[in-house]
Amino acid sequence: MSAARLGLTAIAIAVLLSGVAASGGVIGKTERYGGLKPAAVALLREDQRLPWEAYLTLSAAAHKKDVDTLEAERRGLKALPAPESDSLHDHSMPLDRQAQWYGSEEARHIADGIVSFQTPAGGWGKNQDFTKGPRQKGQMWVVFEQAARSQPQDYPNPAAVHWHYVGTIDNDATTTQLHFLAKVIAASDAANTASWRASFLKGLDYLFAAELPCGGWPQIWPLEGGYSDALTFNNNAFTNTVTLMNEIASDTSGLYGFVPAKAKADAAAAVKRARAVALASQVMTAGKRTVWGQQHDPLTLKPTGARNFEPVMLSATDSADLLVFLMSLPDPSKEEAVAIHDGIAWLKAAAITDIAWEKHGDSRVLVRKAGAGTMWARLYDPVTMKPVFGDSDKTIHDDVNEISAERRQGYSWYNTGPAKALKRYEVWAKEHPAKARP
């Protein structure tokens, strides 16, 4: 039995009992995940411990290479180039253009920018504008986020925020760069694609190195410490990466003919491990599978807390994305089929009607509104199935209108994202009907 199936009630009870009295709707305090620690790894049996120790060593070496490379570039420079500050959420790399566009000068210019900003470890930062031209010598590889300066409590090392997200799969980073490079390579004369192919394969090796020994990926690699070390389902980090691996392994699109056979086999193995950890980490309650948290402890596979306003809860949005991926598999196992049926049943039970956001002054509030469409809360208590909401001071609330206006505005507490999983299920279930259980 997986660790995620054990201790679920304990998680919920700890959340419910750790807070102050229920006045004001405060029901607990967020417990942030402290990161993948050598001390925790040391407690494992030797056969389990060795892969994790090797993983931590590899991560530390990759971070040192990043740091040493930048320091060497900057040695002797009279002035350091400013880091990029724009944040386009990776919109500079469109993936929905006609195939011939990727052979255009514009697309090749973007591809060259992508190559120039690849970190020595092989990944990319997030929210970068690659239309502005290549990276300058001594320039940081990633954008310097305003959030890192304004919300230092959310970052594991506020004194080194300029190293934050130096290699990440958050906000579609790294996987988008690889998708874009593959499209440009496919649309170009093979004789002119050497630098793009080398960059792609280096990026693929980065994802292989970043894969956790349990399967799946952390949000940031090399590891930074803190919540980003966790097995991350949030923001499509897991599904984006495993989907790319699956595409490379099968190569049904024909985009990955330049990828060596061994790398394709390694991608297939990564998909197999990712599928296994998805099943092992799906939270069980009352003997039935439910869904997943936004991130899970990679050693215990239990859901974990992240930022101050992201408590240990079940995530409807991220679970829906993972269920869509599982339903895309042509060969779901019996256990995966059960995981899908039970996950969809949970999403159906979690649906909320007759509520809507309304503008009140400079903020918004949630109101009762008859006839409003179906929505889901982002986070749910794993036992009570009630929506929960975190605030910047780590307090957990049972009413979204009780949290600060800044957090109410700055997070998608209610959304319609899970609807896509229910729609996909209507088709999938016809081919994979639920079977009665004893």
Kindly tell me the burial class for residue 221, based on how many C-beta atoms sit within 10 Å of its own C-beta (0-12, 13-18, 19 or more). Answer: buried
One digit per residue, the tens of pLDDT, for the chain of length 438 reads: 443 543 444 333 333 333 323 345 799 999 999 999 999 999 999 999 999 999 999 999 999 999 999 999 999 999 988 777 656 566 899 999 999 999 999 999 999 999 999 999 999 999 889 998 899 999 999 886 555 555 656 666 655 666 888 999 999 999 999 999 999 999 999 999 999 999 999 999 999 999 999 999 999 999 999 999 999 999 999 999 999 999 999 999 999 999 999 999 999 999 999 999 999 999 998 888 999 999 999 999 999 999 999 999 999 999 999 999 999 999 999 999 999 999 999 999 999 999 999 988 888 999 999 999 899 999 999 889 999 999 999 999 999 999 999 999 989 999 999 999 999 999 999 999 988 665
Task: List, by residue number, the catalytic residues.
Answer: 171, 307
> What's the rounded Cα separation, in Å, for the pair 218 and 231?
5
Q: List the end-to-end C-alpha distance of the chain, in Å, as a whole number.
A: 19
Token couple for 211: 């894969």
Q: Where in the chain is the domain with CATH 1.50.10.20?
A: 1-33+283-432, 49-229
Fold of the CATH domain 1-33+283-432: Glycosyltransferase (1.50.10)
> What's the rounded Cα separation, in Å, for the pair 161 and 179?
28
Dihedral, 163, 166, 168, 174 alpha carbons, nearest 10: 160
**pTM assigned to the model:** 0.91
353 Cα distance to chain centroid: 28
The CATH number of domain 49-229 is 1.20.810.10? no
